[in-house]
Amino acid sequence: MQAIDVGKAINPAIVKGQIEGGTLQALGWAVLENVVYKDGRVANATMTNCIVPTFADAPELETILVEVPYPFGPSGAKGVGEIPMDGPAAAVANAVEDALGCAFDELPISPEHVAAARPRWQIRETEAEDAS
Amino acid sequence: MKISIEVNGEAREVDVSPWKRLLDVLREDLRLTGTKEGCGEGECGACSVLLDGEVVNSCLVAAGQCDGRTLTTVEGLASRDDVLHPVQRALVECGGAQCGICTPGIAICAANVIDRGLVAMALAAGDEALARARVRELLAGNICRCTGYQLIVDAILVAAREAAQRDPVTVPIRRRKPTTGRGGS
């Protein structure tokens, strides 16, 4: 779930679509998508090996449009296409860090990367300890 | 090779190499450019069409395989007097399309899901979450880069509900039997 200040939503359906699309791209970037270069070429240029989230991978997304008219934009609107890309990857990284007790400073945080970081894991023993 | 295909209810004949991709026959020979090429290797679903009522990726079907068969493309979803298929109307109304490359394939697959009543049971049971999960599973062969899928799922459910109201499901709802131990489906 996310709330985004969009200035004024001129067409709320399209604004929501832009935000949800950007969010899923960012989540894909956070955990799945990895562009590999080899000798100056993209080595995984097909959908078989550069994984883009599908319907089944995507979580249910809930979007709240916060409308605060922006005096410098047309009809009070703000650009909204880019902003959803900023937060989700950092949120995923923070969540993984919270769960494993070690930071990740590279994307994607794929299962392979999580497994490779095993020596750095510092998982707290119990939920009780977590709460105290 | 002469190939006769019934396309969107119309008998058509083309003279092409039997190895030509169905996608290219549609776009180049039949001038039905609603069907789009995405990846060209059967991963993305943008070129989906119905071949004898089954969804296929038209980039992976050879023209020679289609002789004497029936095809429905996105052009054939709307009725002859240009009334959109309920799922097309829902996609427009809900904002379930952005750049549009995946949309014809999604419209074809979603129309197939609705016309065959594949989410009707979940809807009849009043299980919204199950219906959404079912749609996501059934459409997983269609990749969309722009929308985040949320509004497409919304649109498909709107159209599915409409269809359920038109002809209510009479299929008995089977309650899941209590299972012993693991497994069971």
Tens-place pLDDT, residues B31-79: 999 999 999 999 999 999 999 999 999 999 999 999 999 999 999 999 8
Q: Would you state the structure tokens that stand for residue B52, as one six-digit string? A: 């004898």
Are B44 and A47 a contacting pair at CB < 8 A?
yes
Residues of A in contact with B136 (CB under 8 A): 55-56, 58
| Residue from the list B132, B143, B146 with its beta carbon closest to the beta carbon of A60 | B132
Collapse the DSSP code of B62 into the 3-class scheme (helix H, G, I; strand E, B; otherwise coil) and give the result.
strand
The structural domains of chain B, ordered by start, are 2-76 (3.10.20.30), 86-166 (1.10.150.120)
CA distances from B109 to A63, A91, B81, B143, B148 (A): 26, 33, 22, 12, 17
pLDDT the model gives residue B185: 45
pLDDT the model gives residue B180: 59
> Does B95 or A129 have the greater pLDDT score?
B95
CA distances from A49 to A87, B54, B73, B142 (A): 25, 27, 29, 16
Tens-place pLDDT, residues A83-100: 999 999 999 999 999 999
pLDDT the model gives residue B176: 57
CA distances from B105 to A29, B3, B21, B77 (A): 24, 24, 16, 11
Domain hosting A11: range is: 2-131
Are A55 and B153 a contacting pair at CB < 8 A?
yes
> Does A81 or B137 have the greater pLDDT score?
B137
Best of B150, B152, B154, B158 to mutate (most A CBs within 10 Å, chain A): B150
Give the CATH number for residue A115: 3.30.365.10
Residues of A in contact with B145 (CB under 8 A): 21, 25, 52
Are B151 and A54 a contacting pair at CB < 8 A?
no
**CA nearest B91 in A: which residue?**
A13
Residues of A identified as active-site: 82
Q: Taking chain A (132 residues) in consecutive chunks of 10 residues, what is each chunk's mean pLDDT?
A: 92 93 95 93 91 94 94 92 92 94 92 92 70 56
> Does B104 or A126 have the greater pLDDT score?
B104
pTM summary value? 0.87
pLDDT the model gives residue B184: 44
The ipTM, to two decimals, is 0.86
CA distances from B110 to A22, B79, B80 (A): 23, 16, 20
Chain A interface with B: residues with Cβ < 8 Å: 11, 13-14, 16-25, 46-48, 52, 54-56, 58, 60-61, 63
Cite the beta strand spans of chain A per DSSP E. 2-5, 37-38, 41-42, 63-66
pLDDT the model gives residue A129: 58
Q: How many domains does chain A have?
A: 1
Nearest to A60 by CA among A1, A111, A12: A1
